[in-house]
Amino acid sequence: MPDIRAPAIRPALQFADLTQERDVATIGIWVFLATEMLFFGGLLTSYAVYRHMFADGFTEAARHTKLIIGTINTAILLTSSFAMAVGVEAAERGMEENRRIVVFALTVTAALGVAFLALKGLEYYQEYQEHLVPGSGFAFGPRYRGPAQLFFLLYFILTGLHGVHVTIGVGLVGSVAAMTRRGAFSTGYTTPIMIVGLYWHFVDVVWIFLYPLIYLVGRSTQ
Amino acid sequence: MRLPAYARIPALSWLALLALLTITCGGAFLPLGPFNLVLGLAIATIKTTIVLVAFMKLLKSPPLTWIYAGAGLFWLMIMLGLAGTDYLTRTLLSVPGR
Amino acid sequence: MSVATAEPAPDAGAANYFFAGSTIRSWLLTHDHKRIALLYFMSITVFFFIGGAAATLIRLELVEPAGWLVSSDTYNRLFTMHGVVMVWFFLIPAVPNTVGNFMIPLMLGARDLAFPRLNLLSWYIYTLGGLFTVYALLVGGVDTGWTFYTPFSSMFSNSNVVWALVGVFITGFSSILTGLNFIVTIHKLRAPGLTWYRMPVFLWSLYATSVILVLATPVLAITLLLLAIERIFRIGIFDPSIGGDPLLFQHLFWFYSHPAVYIMILPGMGVVSEIIPCFARKPLFGYKFVVWCSMAIAAIGFLVWGHHMFVAGMSMYAGLVFSLLSYLVSVPSAIKVFNWTATLHRGWIRYDAPMLYALGFIGLFTTGGLTGLFLAALAVDVHVTDTYFVVAHFHYIMVGGMVTAFFAGLHYWWPKISGRMYPEYWARMAALLIFFGFNLTFFPQFILGYLGMPRRYHTYPPEFQFWHVLSSAGAAVLAVAYLMPLGYLGWSVFRGKPAGDNPWRATGLEWQTSSPPPEHNFAVTPTVTRGPYEYTPDPVPQNA
C-alpha cells in the first residue's frame, strides 16, 4: 500500500512515518480484541460448564428464545459488517473520489446497529412479558426452573454485554462517519476508519458465536 | 450489475455469510442429537473465518496480529480445557468416604 | 522490525523533563511517559501506606490471643482492605507503571511509548478505581477477603462489596491499557540496531508481564461483573439454589489471580536482572535462558490456577493435573535463580543499596518459591492450606521478593529519575533493616501455619502467642524500615549530590542520556551496536 503522506497529516512525534503509525495502530487494536476474547470467554466458559451440567434444562429453556428475532438480528449484523467493509475498502482505495460512498457506508453500518439494538429491546420486552427474566418473577415448569434461570441469566448477560459493545460501536462508527464527512482523512491516512471497522467486525464475530449457542439449541426436538 | 472494485469482495462474502446463516438455522431443525451443537459451532467458525479474512483482512495485516488473534483464542481454550478437567471428571473419580 | 528514526526532537528549551512546564495542568495533562511515571509513583506510595496501615492494625491485634483491639467483623475488613489495596493498587502497578513507564522508552531509544495519551488515560482510570475503593473503605469496608469467594460475597456479606468490585473492575482497565501499550511499544519502537536479543532483560520481563496483563485481566473483569450482578439483583450464576456452582467463581477468579502473581513478580525479576550484572561487573549468565524463562513463566503461569482450590470441592483428577503443572511452573524461576547466582560467581561485587536489595530478593524469593512447592503437593496442601503457612509463602514472594525488588529498582534508577544521589549510608541501613524486619515478621508465620494456625482468624489458642509476638515485633521493625526511604529519598531531591549521566557506569541506553533526561529523551535517536551487559573488561554502552 503506498505511503502517500498528505501534506496536512504528519505522524505523531514517537513515530518515524505514517506506515509505522498505521502498523502500530493495527497491532494495538488486535491486542485489544484479544482482551475482548478473554472477556467474553469467561462468560462462554460459564455457559459451557452449565450446559454440560444441565443439558436438558438448557435445551428446554433455549426453546423459549425468539428464533425469528434472533435470526433477523444476525442477518442485520452480517449486513452491517458488509457495509463497514465497503466503507473501509472504498476509503483505502481512494478517499478523495469515494468520500461520499464512505460516509454512506458508515452511516448504513451505524443505522443497522441501531436497528439491531431496537429489535433486541423488543425481544427483551417480550421476554419480560413472558416472565423469563430470572428472579422471583421467573415462570417456568418446576423440573427445570433452576437451570432455566441459569440459561436466561447467561442469555441476558451475554446479549446485554454484547449490546453495550454494539452501542459503543454505533457511537464510534457515527463519529468516524462525521469525521470523514468533514474531510479529516485522506487516502494515506484512513487509520481510524480501519480501527473502528475491526472493532465492529469483532462485535459481529461475537454475535456469530452467540447465535447458535442461544437460539439454535433444542430446535430439532421441539 | 458490475460492482465497483471496493464492493466486490465484501459483497461476495456477505452472500456467503447469509447462505451460511440459512444453513445453520435450517440445520438446527434436523435431528442430529449432539451433532447439532457441533454443526452450529462449525458453521459459526466458517463464518468467523470469512469475516476475519475478507472483512478484517487478518492475513494482510502484520504477522504479529495473527499471533495475538491466535493467542486470544488459544488462551480461551486453556480456560475451557483446564476448567473441564474439573467439571468433566467430578463424577468420574469417587472420593474416599463417599 | 520497525524502528523509530524520526528527525531530531524539537528543543523545548527546558533543562529536563521535570522542568518542562511547571503548572499543575502541565502535569495532569502530560503525554510524557516520565511524568506519568511520577504520577503513578505518587499514587502507589499513598496506597502502600493505606495497605500498610491495615497491616499495622492486623499485627497489633494479633499480639493477644483473644481479640483486644478490634471486633471479628472489623478484623475481616482489615485483612480484606490490606489484600485489595496491596494487590491491585500497589503490587501490580508498582514496577510496570513507575519504573516501566519511565524506563521503557529510554531503554528502547524511543521518544515515548506507542500510545502516550492511552498512558495518561491509564493513570486516570487507575485513580478513578482507587477512589471507588477508598470510598468502599470509608463507608465501612468489605469483609469477604480480597478473594471475594462466593457464596459469602454474593449472598451473605453485609459489607460494601459492590463499591469495592467497581473500584477493582475499573482499575483492571488501567492494567489492560498499560499492557497493550508496552507490547506495541516493545515490538515497534526499538532504536536502530536494537534486536530482540540485545534488549535488556528488564524489557523482556515487562513484555512477558504485559502479555499476562492483557490476557488475564479481562477474565477478572467479567468475574467481578458477574459477582456484582448477583449481589445487586440477588440472583446470579453462582447461586446454588438455582443450580449455580460457587466453585465456578473460584475457577474464573483464579484464572486471573494466579497469573496476577506473575504480573507482580516478573517485573521484579527484571529489575534484579539489570542490577546484578551492573554491580557484579559481569554480563548476565545465560541471557537467552533468562529471557525465555520469563516468557515460560508467563505462559505456564496460566495453567496452574487450580492449586488454590485443592480442598474446595474440585475434582481430584483436576487436582492431580494442577499439582503437576504447578511443579512445572517452578522450573523457569529456579533456572533464573541459578543464572543470577552464576552471574555473581567471580564477579567484582559492590554492595551498594540496589545490590543489597537485589541479593535480598534472591534469598527471600527462593525461600518463598520453595515453600510453594510444599503447597503444590496435594497431600501436604491438605494440612497447610488456609493456614499461616500460605500467608508466609506469599509474603516471602510478594514482600520479600517483589517489594524488595521495587526498592532495588527505585534506588538503582533514582539518580536517573531525579538527577540526585540518595545518601548511601542510610539506604544500606534501610535495606539491612528491611531484610531483618521482614524475616522476623514472616518466618515465624511458617511455623505458625505448620502448627495449625488458620489464616484470617484474629483469635487463637494461647500456645501460638509466642510466634505471633515475634511476628508483630518484626512488623514494627519493617514499618520503621519502610519509612526510612520516604525520608532520605525525599531529602535527596533537594540536597542530594548531583548524579551525573551514569553514576553506576552501567551499559544500558537509559544511562547514555542526561540525569534527569530531557523532555524527549534523546537529542538524536541512538544506534545500538552491542548487547546490554558488556561489562568486561570495561563497561561499554549499548550505543558505543
Q: What is the DSSP string of C97-121?
A: IIIIHHHHHHHHT-SS-S-HHHHHH
Instruction: Look up residue C372 and give its three cell numbers.
Output: 510453594
Give the chain C residue whose CA is nearest to the CA of B88: C315
CB contact under 8 Å between C219 and A149, yes or no, is no
Question: What's residue C15's pLDDT?
Answer: 73
Q: Which residues pair with C454 in a beta bridge?
A: C387
Q: Can you tell me which residue has the cell 482499575?
A: C171
Residues of B in contact with A48 (CB under 8 A): 80, 83-84
CB contact under 8 Å between A31 and B7, yes or no, is no
The answer on pLDDT for C10 being more than 70 is no
Question: What's residue C537's pLDDT?
Answer: 83
The answer on pLDDT for C189 being more than 80 is yes
Q: What is the pLDDT of residues A34-68, one digit of tens each?
A: 999 999 999 999 999 999 999 999 999 999 999 99
CB contact under 8 Å between B64 and C219, yes or no, is no
Q: What is the pLDDT of residues C264-286, one digit of tens each?
A: 999 999 999 999 999 999 999 99
Report the distance separating Cα A115 and Cα A109, nearest Å: 10
C483 touches chain A (CB under 8 A): no
Rounded to the nearest integer, the mean pLDDT of chain A is 92
CB contact under 8 Å between C176 and A41, yes or no, is no
Helix axes A18-53, C246-280, angle to 10 degrees: 140
The mean pLDDT value for C41-64 works out to 97
Percent of chain C with pLDDT over 90: 93
- C524 in a domain, yes or no? no
Listed by number, the residues of chain A in 76-95 with a beta carbon closer than 8 Å to a beta carbon of chain B are 78-79, 81-82, 84-86, 89-90, 93
Give the chain B residue whose CA is nearest to the CA of C212: B75
Instruction: Look up residue C509 and give its three cell numbers.
Output: 541506553
Q: What is the pLDDT of residues A29-41, one digit of tens each?
A: 999 999 999 999 9
CB contact under 8 Å between B76 and A79, yes or no, is no
C322 touches chain B (CB under 8 A): yes
Burial class (CB within 10 angstroms; exposed 0-12, middle 13-18, buried 19+) of C489: buried
- C214 in a domain, yes or no? yes
The answer on pLDDT for C12 being more than 70 is no
Q: Can you tell me which residue has the cell 495533562?
A: C29
Residues of A in contact with C221 (CB under 8 A): 39
What domains are defined for chain A?
Answer: 39-216 (1.20.120.80)
Best to test chain C binding among B65, B74, B80, B82 (most C CBs inside 10 Å): B82
- Measured in angstroms, the CA of A137 and the nearest CA of chain B are apart by 30
Q: What is the pLDDT of residues C399-413, one digit of tens each?
A: 999 999 999 999 999
CB contact under 8 Å between B82 and C318, yes or no, is yes
Residues of A in contact with B68 (CB under 8 A): 27, 30-31, 33-34
Best to test chain A binding among C30, C119, C120, C184 (most A CBs inside 10 Å): C184
> CA angle, C520 as apex, C518 and C523 as ends, to 5°?
75
The answer on pLDDT for C142 being more than 90 is yes
Mapped onto helix, strand or coil, the DSSP state of residue A190 is coil
Question: What's residue A214's pLDDT?
Answer: 97
Q: Who's near C169: CB < 8 A, 6+ residues apart?
A: C129, C221, C224, C225, C228
Rounded to the nearest integer, the mean pLDDT of chain C is 95
Top-confidence residue, C337 or A221: C337
Q: What is the pLDDT of residues C435-470, one digit of tens each?
A: 999 999 999 999 999 999 999 999 999 999 999 999
- Measured in angstroms, the CA of C303 and the nearest CA of chain B are apart by 7
pTM over 0.80: yes
CB count, 10 Å around CB of C431? 27
The answer on pLDDT for C78 being more than 80 is yes
- Band of residue C4 on the pLDDT scale cut at 50, 70, 90: very low
The mean pLDDT value for C380-397 works out to 97
- C532 in a domain, yes or no? no
- C15 in a domain, yes or no? no
Give the chain B residue whose CA is nearest to the CA of C321: B85
Residues of C in contact with A149 (CB under 8 A): 235, 242-243
Report the distance separating Cα C480 and Cα C448, nearest Å: 24
CATH assignment of the domain containing C426? 1.20.210.10
- C450 in a domain, yes or no? yes
The answer on pLDDT for A2 being more than 50 is no
List chains adjacent to chain A, taking adjacency as at least 3 C-beta pairs closer than 8 Å.
B, C
Question: What's residue A15's pLDDT?
Answer: 74
- The rounded Cα C147 to chain-centroid distance in angstroms is 18
CB contact under 8 Å between C315 and B92, yes or no, is yes
Q: What is the pLDDT of residues C226-260, one digit of tens each?
A: 999 999 999 999 999 999 999 999 999 999 999 99
Report the distance separating Cα B2 and Cα C443, nearest Å: 79
CB contact under 8 Å between B13 and A38, yes or no, is no
- Weakly modelled stretches of chain B, pLDDT under 70: 1, 93-98
Mapped onto helix, strand or coil, the DSSP state of residue C84 is helix
The mean pLDDT value for C531-539 works out to 90
Of C114, C242, C245, the CB nearest to A149: C242
Domains in chain C, number: 1
The answer on pLDDT for C167 being more than 90 is yes
Size of interface A-C (CB pairs under 8 A): 119
- Measured in angstroms, the CA of A126 and the nearest CA of chain B are apart by 21
- C540 in a domain, yes or no? no
The mean pLDDT value for A11-21 works out to 77
What domain range includes position C257?
Answer: 32-240+253-512
Question: What's residue C9's pLDDT?
Answer: 53
Q: What ipTM score was computed for the predicted complex, to two decimals?
A: 0.93
Best to test chain B binding among C258, C315, C323 (most B CBs inside 10 Å): C315
Residues of A in contact with C236 (CB under 8 A): 153
CB count, 10 Å around CB of A137? 9
The answer on pLDDT for A8 being more than 50 is no
List chains adjacent to chain C, taking adjacency as at least 3 C-beta pairs closer than 8 Å.
A, B
Question: How does DSSP classify residue A216?
Answer: S
The mean pLDDT value for C92-115 works out to 96
Top-confidence residue, A14 or C479: C479
CB contact under 8 Å between A35 and C114, yes or no, is no
The answer on pLDDT for C135 being more than 80 is yes
- C22 in a domain, yes or no? no
Question: What's residue C245's pLDDT?
Answer: 96
The mean pLDDT value for A141-158 works out to 95
Q: Can you tell me which residue has the cell 482492605?
A: C81
CB contact under 8 Å between B31 and A220, yes or no, is yes
Residues of A in contact with B31 (CB under 8 A): 220-221
